[in-house]
């Protein structure tokens, strides 16, 4: 499975309105798609790299012997879910889900499965 196919599969997660694979070092989006009109996914994904970099830095600074599984930002109407890709150093999944149409636990599971499928390809 390639990045574009993976992003398409992420859009099939209930409530997902945007999905991307992003490089958190450069802020570049490798693949992305959204069903939202007039939404700049590229800028939003690039902004999320700041969150990812800051958390990666803080985990390293305090000497935690652990890694980030995912980062959740909860807005009034949306969840923004980020998951670093272990097999693709520096990349992460970025998904936006509508509160009212999504199940956060299932979305997290779908990201794990998508990462496994991407790694197996």
Take residue 27 and report the two structure tokens written for it.
């802020």
C-alpha pair distances (Å), 61 with each of 26, 54, 64, 101? 21, 10, 8, 37
What does the pLDDT average to over 29-38? Answer: 94
C-alpha pair distances (Å), 37 with each of 16, 34, 43, 60? 14, 8, 14, 38
Task: Residue 99: give its domain's CATH number.
Answer: 3.30.450.30
What does the pLDDT average to over 71-95? Answer: 96
Take residue 38 and report the two structure tokens written for it.
């007039």
C-alpha pair distances (Å), 1 with each of 76, 106, 110, 116, 121? 33, 21, 15, 10, 5
Beta-strand pair 29-34/16-23: antiparallel
Say if residues 73 and 80 touch (Cβ distance below 8 Å). yes
Take residue 97 and report the two structure tokens written for it.
């889900």
Number of independent structural domains in the chain: 1
Say if residues 55 and 75 touch (Cβ distance below 8 Å). no
pTM comes to: 0.94
Domain encompassing residue 81: 3-120
Given a cut of 60, whether residue 66 has pLDDT beyond it is yes
Given a cut of 80, whether residue 1 has pLDDT beyond it is no
């Amino acid at each position: 499975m390639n990045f574009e196919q993976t992003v398409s599969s992420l859009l099939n997660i209930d409530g997902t309105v945007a999905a991307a694979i992003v490089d958190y070092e450069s802020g570049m989006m490798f693949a992305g798609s959204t069903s939202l009109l007039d939404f700049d996914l590229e800028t939003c994904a690039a902004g999320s790299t700041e969150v990812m970099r800051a958390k990666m830095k803080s985990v390293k600074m305090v000497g935690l012997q652990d890694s980030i599984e995912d980062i959740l930002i909860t807005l009034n109407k949306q969840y923004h879910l980020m998951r670093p890709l272990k097999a693709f150093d520096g990349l992460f999944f970025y998904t936006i889900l509508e509160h009212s149409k999504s199940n956060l636990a299932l979305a997290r599971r779908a990201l794990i499965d998508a990462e496994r499928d991407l790694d197996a390809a």
